Chain A
Amino acid sequence: MFDPFTDEKLKKILKKITKKKMFKNYLIAFNPPKILKKNTKLKLTKTIFRNTYSGMIFEIK
């Protein structure tokens, strides 16, 4: 939820995740940083809000 990764580390992880296209994969992020929303390989499918927290579900293209 509280992301321990820096933007650079997160970019590297995202590259690895988005490479594999065997079947549909999903990414759930709680209070995600802006870098996720801007990523072109991720499609935001749903956003859930609870109080000050948010959960976003992305489909990996």
Chain B
Amino acid sequence: MPEKSNFNVNSYFKILKNRGVKSLFDEIKNNLIFDLINGTSTQIREGISTKNYKHYSPAYSSLIIESIKSLNINYRDYNFIDLGSGKGKVTLIASKFRFKKILGIEIIKSLVQQAKKTIKFILKKNGIENISVKLIIYA
């Protein structure tokens, strides 16, 4: 089982206060609802930014889907590589497009372990078992 969704009301109040209603709506639509549907916890930012590393933050699901769709390619002929895969949100979305192979690369070990659990659970739940999804640690 993946970990429980770590919904945090305060972070959404902060978004409303600092960035306005439109941003709040986008965050809910692209992050919160994605997590509720898939049983993931990708919405909360984690880690501290340093000189060489910036904290984990999820990409908007609609932005990922539209970007992949606009490629106009036969997905089965291509491999998908995600540099900085974090909790595996992009890899998870890419798995629905049936790429030949999917590879996620991340430097934080804990994020990779979390992503592995989540992706295994969701692929099994959705009956997607003939796709190769690998997550590795790059240090």
Chain A residues within 8 Å of B62, by CB: 50
- Assign chain B's interface to a size class: 20 to 34
Known: A1-B57, A2-B54. A48 touches B67 (CB 8 A): yes
Q: Contact partner of A26 among B55, B73, B83, CB < 8 A?
A: B73
- Assign chain A's interface to a size class: 20 to 34
Chain B residues within 8 Å of A4, by CB: 52-54, 84, 107
Query: How far is the CB of A52 from the nearest CB of chain B, in Å?
Result: 7
Complex interface residues of chain A between 1 and 33 (CB less than 8 A to chain B): 1-6, 13, 23-24, 26, 28, 30
A-B residue pairs, 9 tightest by C-beta: A2-B54, A1-B59, A55-B67, A51-B26, A50-B63, A55-B63, A28-B67, A30-B59, A4-B53
On B, residues with C-beta under 8 Å from A are 19, 22-23, 26, 30, 51-60, 62-64, 66-68, 70-71, 73, 77, 83-84, 86, 107
